[in-house]
Copies of this chain bind each other. A is one copy, B any other.
Amino acid sequence: MSERQNAKQSIVETASKLFVTQGYHATGLSQIIKESECPKGSVYYYFPKGKEELAIASIECTKQVVLAKWNDCFNKYDNPAEAIAMFIKELAVDVAKNGYEGYVPFSFWIAAETSSVSDKLREASQSVFAAWQNVISSRLHMTGIGQAKSNELGTVIVSLLEGALLLAITNRDTTPLLSASKCVPYLITKCPSL
């Protein structure tokens, strides 16, 4: 990776960390510049529109990292229901290993700070959920489940995962994620009305 790419990535990583731990509202550009140890000019060069543009880059980064994990998992298991259950189980292991910190979904600060967040940021978060739902839906559809049911299952599974993650972080306990993981195969095979 070139030095340029390194600088840009370092800025995005620092910003993501600060947004997640302090919230969007409470994080200023000057702190991002200081903690990324990049020259002030490079922050304004890569992100001329400032904090909002940087937040959108952080959200996009999270989207790609998690999408890659989903694809890895689907490639590892023939049965997509098993792949989804394993994805959630592995998340539980990781979350506990990291002391229940740093796993706060980016969208929590979008949801938690509506008054200080723009429609652009909300739409960026929406596109992340849509991307995760799509990767799940398309794998389910490939096994012969109808498109409408596959889409709805994608939504339900992302909802369950995000909610279980929130409970796990709040309780400092992986039980909600493990219970969610156990449900997934039944949601896929036993919900005729979806």
Contacts and interface: CB of A to CB of B under 8 A. Distances in A.
Interface stretch (A4-12, A30-38, A67-75, A122-130): A122-130
- The SS class assigned to the A binding surface is helix
A42 interface: no
A167 B162 CA distance: 9
A81 interface: no
Contacts of A182: 152, 191, 193-194
A116 B156 CA distance: 31
Copies per complex of this chain: 2
A183 B179 contact: no
A190 B186 contact: yes
B23 A166 contact: no
Contacts of A2: none
A39 B175 CA distance: 45
A170 to B, nearest CB: 5
B26 A122 contact: no
B122 A101 contact: no
B129 A155 contact: no
B187 A159 contact: no
Given A115-B21, A193-B182, A158 B163 contact: yes
Which 3 A/B pairs are nearest by Cβ-Cβ distance? A163-B163, A190-B190, A159-B163
